[in-house]
A = this chain, B = another copy of it.
Amino acid sequence: MKSNLSPLAPKADQDTVRRHNLSLVLRAVHDEGESTRAGVAARVGLTRAAVSSLVEQLLEGGFLTESGKTFSGQAGRPGTVLKPSRTGAAGVGVEINVDYVTVCVVDLTGTDRVRLTERLDNRGAPPAEVLARAARIASHALDSARQQELRPAGVTLALPGLVAGGTVRQAPNLGWNGVAADALFAQALAEYPNTPSLPVSSENEANLAALAELWFGGPGEARTFLYLSGEIGVGGALVLNGELLRGAHGFAGEIGHVPLDPAGPACRCGARGCLEQYAGQSALLRGAGIDEDAGAAGVAELERRAAAGDERALAALGTAGVMLGRVLAGAVNLVDPEAVVLGGVYRALAPWLSPPAEAELAARVVSGLWPHDSGRLRASSLAGDAARGAAALVVEAVLDDPARWAQGAGAE
């Protein structure tokens, strides 16, 4: 068959290959933190000449920077050091939760360059007003980003609810139903004269926290894991082979509403006996004899009492841990993840939640696949926060197709 081989280079395909290769080179430098042209060529399997041409385009587009000093850790002749640029393209994440808004700007190196949090009560306020508050806070963060010569490529909103196609179908703790969050936020942001016009998208907060855990959780992280976010609601997300599972409607991961007891307490979702009713923040606080509306202070108090050996606190955490373990066993049998990560308020409470949950997993996961000392149920890293994940999602889109973003870079 060899004699039949002819070079295939139709125009459309070549452009696709070029854009793909631009992304490949940018990611190679991004993933290493720094590299040389020779280092990149070795990593991606392209010729040195091809890599040099791609690197020139990435330098010109402001995606990479080059420093004069040589780099001799690599085989062959030393070259100038390439790094992802700390100016230029960046991502903006805006987390809107029950009692705070956090805006975060992340650059191409993955560094959190601006972070602005305001504590405020978003319950009861009309959605448009909450989104206007968020836009005001974002406008401040965008000013700071501009000072640092960052040019945001887009905004992702992180929201505690079922989100798809720019609309929040349901966010019970905010009291939102059918809110066109993307459009309302973009409109509110446009009121600020100095802010650029940016594409806005929305995503569930647990999904974004899980992505932040994936991207920033440090080396050795699992690529297939189930992420639980304990808050007033119990959110969740599934990361499979390094990709977030969105599901048919964008609503995958709702582990808080896996039924535990068909005749159990009524849940906000309309069903009965959901996990959230046994292991959500309110159930935990109530079980420990703490005001269930005490929020973050209540969780801190629960942690303090548990550490002091308070029996009621320990019992509440023990029950929640068993219920978590039972639901997790079913989820592990279904999805076979490498790890289960406990985030949100569960992060601090993991020392008490994990042992009973591990015992349930060891007893109920098929074929001894979850041994007692597996270490596969673990607290999230500090990196796993939704605002950073939201900003990084924009950065990922830039890394995926820098050519596309270079074209739009003059939008400001």
Chain B residues within an 8 Å CB radius of A274: 364
A367 close to chain B: CB less than 8 A: yes
A56 sits at the interface (CB 8 A): yes
Check if B14 sits within 8 Å of A367, measured CB to CB. Answer: no
In the complex, A7 Cα to B18 Cα: how many Å?
A: 8
C-alpha gap A238/B299 in the complex (Å)? 37
In the assembly, what is the distance between CA of A45 and CA of B8, in Å?
12
Q: How far is the CA of A365 from the CA of B274 in the complex (A)?
A: 10
- Which residues 262-302 in A have Cβ within 8 Å of B in the complex? 262, 269-271, 274
**Docked pose: A5 CA to B15 CA in angstroms:** 9
Q: How far is the CA of A334 from the CA of B334 in the complex (A)?
A: 10
Identify A333's interface contact among B257, B262, B326, CB under 8 A: B257
User: Residues of B contacting A9 with CB < 8 Å?
Assistant: 7, 9
Among B50, B247, B271, B336, the residue within 8 A (CB) of A8 is: B50
Closest chain B residue to A15 by CB distance?
Answer: B5
Which of A9, A53, A330 gathers most chain B CB within 10 Å?
A330
Contact with B along A186-229 (1 / 0, CB 8 A): 00000000000000000000000000000000000010100000
Residues of chain B within 8 A of A10, CB atoms compared: 45-47, 50
The answer on a CB contact under 8 Å between B162 and A334 is no
A254 close to B (CB within 8 Å): yes
When A251-B366, A251-B369, A367-B251 are in contact, do A1 and B57 touch as well, CB less than 8 Å?
A: yes
Q: How large is the interface on A (under 10, 10 to 19, 20 to 34, 35 or more residues)?
A: 35 or more
Interface residues of A in 220-254 (CB under 8 A from B): 222, 224, 236, 238, 240, 245-254
**A251: nearest residue on chain B (CB-CB)?**
B336
User: Is A137 close to B, CB under 8 A?
Assistant: no
The smallest C-beta distance from A59 to any residue of chain B, in angstroms, reads 10
Instruction: Assess whether A406 is interfacial by the CB under 8 Å rule.
Output: yes
Q: Which of B17, B60, B236, B406 contacts A334 (CB 8 A)?
A: B236
Task: State whether A162 touches B364 (Cβ < 8 A).
Answer: no
Complex Cα–Cα for A239 and B5 (A): 36
Assess whether B224 is in contact with A1, with CB atoms less than 8 Å apart.
Answer: no
Partner of A254, one of B1, B47, B56, B333: B333
Interface residues of A in 365-382 (CB under 8 A from B): 365-369
CB of B8 within 8 A of CB of A21, answer yes
A367 touches B269 (CB 8 A): yes
Could you give 8 example pairs across A and B, Cβ below 8 Å?
A1-B60, A7-B14, A170-B367, A238-B335, A247-B335, A248-B337, A259-B364, A271-B329
Chain A residues packing against B (C-beta within 8 Å): 1, 4-10, 12-14, 17-18, 21, 45-47, 50, 53-54, 56-57, 60-61, 162, 169-170, 222, 224, 236, 238, 240, 245-255, 257-259, 262, 269-271, 274, 326-327, 329-331, 333-338, 363-369, 403, 406
